[in-house]
Structure 1
Amino acid sequence: MACSSSQPVLPAVAAPPPNPTAPKRAETPKSAGGTVAGLKLVKKMTVPAGPKSLRVLPDGKRVMTCNLYGYQVTFIDAKTYEILKKVPVGGEPVECTFTKGGKYAWVSLYGSERVGVTSFVVVIDTETYQIVARIPAGRVPKVVAESPDGKWVYAANWLSESITVMDAEKLTKVKDVPVGRVPRGICFAPDGKLAYVCIMGGHSLAVIDVENGHQKIRDIETGYNPRHVCVSQDGKLLYVALNASGTLIKIDRASETIIGRAKTGTQARSTSLSVDDRYAFVCNYEDNNLGVVDLEQMKQLFTVKTDVHPIGVTTMPDGKHVWVSNYRPSTVYVFEIEYAGEPAGGS
């Protein structure tokens, strides 16, 4: 359920220090830092129908698209832009995540909106391109996210008001956890102790205690229609895209309060942070563009044109490129990130 002002005030939770045993994002390349001055379109490619989302594999060598209406996922070479493999998944793929350093890709299948029909998350071996598991989820699973220690994968069940917890080692379902109406975006804190789930049908993030039985323990007020959530590398900040208002908000994790707002475009959807956490790239769905938000100023600096309905975005580990998937006409754009004082195509 959505959090409201009538609920009791909960004690603040200090943001814990990063877990030294948890996987860390690659360090920002020195050549990739600086002030973002523009985005230059360097490649446009056609993919199977309805690329709902896309994400770069951890090693940065391939990008995977989930092609909702094509009933398959696509692996693309990140340098040559060649489509390496199309993998049928037996349903409509929505979102993906990776475990074991990218060996396994976890893909949510849209399933059916009819009551009683089981939906699945499929697991693909990214070396052999074979499906190695089909794990039952709730009705219409969407975002899937991996815990930093690689032990768990969560799936947000759009119509079941729950998340499905899966064991990433055993490739099995553990339990369903009620969280609230229309859950979607998910992220884990860097130390893996807490997870945050966007309650898109309400006004909040559901906070999940990962260590103690994967239980919902409270809500954090966000404003209406939160869709996507990201966490900073140091674990101090959450960034939440509010779809209905076209807004990106900044939340302090320690106090669990909103400390900044940026107006983006119409229907702010999928969001990806730059490798230095200075910027957010936001899909402005109805405006057909990608917005670049300065996260210190909390201001959208500029937008770049995409095809119709940009819906997925991923930042490359080199910090030099950002990829965007567009519903129509089923395209992927690759933008080079231009930094002030650095010519396009520079090192």
Structure 2
Amino acid sequence: MKNSKYFILRFFAITGLLATFIFFVTECNAQSTPARALLAISKANHTLAIIDPATLSVLARIPVGEDPHEVVASTDGKTAYVCIYGGGSLHEINIIDLVAQKPLRTIDTRPLFGPHDIAFVNDKAWFTAEGSKAVGRYDPVTEKLDWSMGTGQDRTHMIYVTSDGKKIYTTNVSSGTVSILVDTLIQPGKMAPPGAKPRQNWVQTIVPVSRGSEGFDVSPDGSELWTAASEDGAISIVGLGAKKLSAKLDAKIFGANRLKFTPDGRQVFISSLQTGDLVIYDAKSRLQVKRLKIGNGAAGILMDPTGSRAFIACSADNYVAIIDLKTLTVTRHLDVGGVPDGLAWAIRP
């Protein structure tokens, strides 16, 4: 009997030490999120990867919803928002704690369906709701959707919000249009009651471009919007001052998916999901500079703010290609999970 008690006590002592050791090793191996982190969506694994951009090591993979597409970080770099798209049928945005590296909560976007692209401006998350032909806005303070507006266009897909939150640009893929939404104020009329305040009145201008125009970007000086079409491979350039099409380039980038300006505004990168090409244009001359074969299907594009490199999600190849912006060559492949897509920066002050 005494021997039995001895072995029981001995067992708990050993297992207790083992548990302490495992906890210690786990804690030592845990890698905290750096102040400047790269975020990458894996559509196949349903994860958000947090990557150290200095070492290019994946620090954490956080589970997200069943069809993640685009991601953005809050201004303080502590929180990420991931759109759960479902081809326009789903209605969730996942909120991720980037410091603790864990899911926080899920936003139910109903009655807005199909959140796809997302931006974070003026401490609020602005997103497209493709299934509802609309854009919406989420306030993290009140934890509510506080504004939305319909575009009346088919497949309102990608979004850009100006830094003052007064203008929104979207591409409407199946309608072949760009929506320009401008926030204007209407002053109270003569018949308004005393104390009436001005009210918001968002005005939409629809600019026809090529059908299939999806990926787009606004030039750093805010003067032009470039978008590339998957169907005819053309690049449409919209003058944002005049709010109309100013040029169309027969670029022959069939299957065009995403488009981004380099940080200095001199070049434009366009990816093709159909061919796996990365096509680079000179923004001033509007001529092709280079066409790179980087895989079998290229999607999301993210520029490094330092101006040294670009990250291209090659969805069909299950890697992110890293491009040197000086030599315009592929320097490395990064594994962030199967079918990578949306990319973003999270920067803590």
TM-score for the superposition, normalised by structure 2 = 0.74
Residues 171 and 198 from structure 1, CA distance in 2 versus in 1: closer, same or farther, beyond 3 angstroms?
Answer: farther
Q: Which of 141, 144, 163 is equivalent to 2:178? A: 163
Supply the AA of the counterpart residue of 2:290: G
Residue 264 of structure 2 corresponds to residue 234 of structure 1: yes
Which structure shows the bigger proportion of residues in helix conformation?
2
The 3-state SS of whatever aligns with 2:316 is helix
The answer on whether the counterparts of 2:73 and 2:346 sit within 8 Å (CA) in structure 1 is yes
Hey, what's the Cα distance between the residues in 2 that align with 1:171 and 1:48?
A: 34
Question: How many pairs are equivalent?
Answer: 279
The 1:269–1:168 alpha-carbon spacing in structure 2 relative to 1, beyond 3 Å, is: farther
Mark the CA change 1:251 to 1:147 in structure 2 (over 3 Å): closer, same or farther: farther
Aligned position for 1:76: 96
1:303 corresponds to: 333
Q: 2:48 matched to 1:48? A: no
Q: Deviation string for 1:82-133 (max 9, x for gaps)?
A: 3233111121111112332xx222211121xxxxxx5111111232221112
- Give the CA deviation at 1:251: 1.5
- Provide the aligned C-alpha RMSD in A: 2.5
CA contact (8 A) 1:185 1:229 kept: yes
Secondary structure in structure 1 of the residue aligned to 2:265: coil
State the alpha-carbon separation in 1 of the partners of residues 294 and 164 from structure 2. 33
**1:58 paired residue number:** 75
Unaligned runs of 5+ in 2: 1-34, 39-52, 185-199
Tell me by how many angstroms 1:318 deviates.
Answer: 6.3
**Partner Cα distance (2:165, 2:341) in 1:** 26
SS of the counterpart of 2:147? strand
Letter in 2 for 1:198: A
TM-aligned CA deviation for residue 246 of structure 1? 1.0
Q: Tell whether the 8 Å contact from 1:261 to 1:298 is kept in structure 2 after alignment.
A: no
Distance 1:132 1:318 in 2: 26
Uncovered stretches (5+) of structure 1, i.e. residues with no partner? 1-28, 112-117, 320-347
Q: How does 1:183-332 map to 2 (within 5 A)?
A: 183-212=213-242, 214-222=243-251, 223-317=253-347
Report deviation, 1:171.
Answer: 6.8
- Render the CA deviation track for 1:29-51: whole Å, top value 9, x for unaligned: 99x9xxx8852111011112211
Picking from 126, 132, 137, the partner of 1:106 is: 126
Change in CA separation of 1:171 and 1:54 when aligned onto 2, cut-off 3 Å:
farther
Match of 1:92 among 96, 110, 114: 114
Q: TM-score, normalised by structure 1?
A: 0.74
After TM superposition, the structure 1 = structure 2 runs for residues 111-150 of structure 1, keeping only pairs within 5 Å, are: 111=131, 119-137=133-151, 138-147=153-162, 150=165
Taking CA–CA contacts closer than 8 Å with sequence separation of 6 or more, which of the two structures ends up with the larger relative contact order?
A: 1
Say if 1:99 and 1:168, in contact at 8 Å, map to a contact too: no
Partner SS for 1:254: coil
Identity, % of aligned positions = 18
How far 1:317 moved relative to its partner? Answer: 3.2
Larger gyration radius, structure 1 or structure 2: 2
Distance, in Å, in 1 between the alignment partners of 2:236 and 2:120 is 23
